[in-house]
Amino acid sequence: MRAPIRWPIGLYRVAGDSMLPTYQPGDTLLGWRWFSPAPGQIVVVTRDRLLIKRIVKISGPHIFIEGDNSASSTDSRHFGPVARRDVIAKIIGKL
């Protein structure tokens, strides 16, 4: 059995207020899946659902993520760091 084709780009929809003012709820974002995570990047993370957050710190295999609107964001301040392998795309633009 062959592994599924994994395209280098993906489309993601902003679902809440956590990334205001950078991105609005309903914005469609373009993500690049082949990248190396770095602080300052906005990324898509898989947890129990997809999250769009900014990388604030990388510590070995763990990444700390936060929303730009800290008053309305559930992020690493609440659930701790995420595994680097759970970061699936870097946001490269808005459609």
In this predicted structure, the answer to whether residue 1 has a pLDDT above a threshold of 70 is: no
Q: What is the pTM of this model?
A: 0.90
Residue 63: inside a domain, yes or no? yes
How would residue 6 be classed by pLDDT, with cut points 50, 70 and 90? confident
What whole-number percentage of the chain has pLDDT above 70? 95
In a domain, 44, yes or no: yes
Q: What's the mean pLDDT when you consider all of the chain?
A: 94
Domain, as residue range, for 26: 9-94
53: pLDDT strictly greater than 70: yes
Of the candidates 40, 71, 69, the residue with the CA atom closest to the CA atom of residue 56: 40
Res. 4 pLDDT band, cuts 50 70 90:
low
Distance of CA 7 to the CA centre of its chain: 17
If DSSP codes are grouped into helix, strand and coil, which group holds residue 24? Answer: coil
- The domain spanning residue 73 has which CATH number? 2.10.109.10
Domain count, the chain: 1
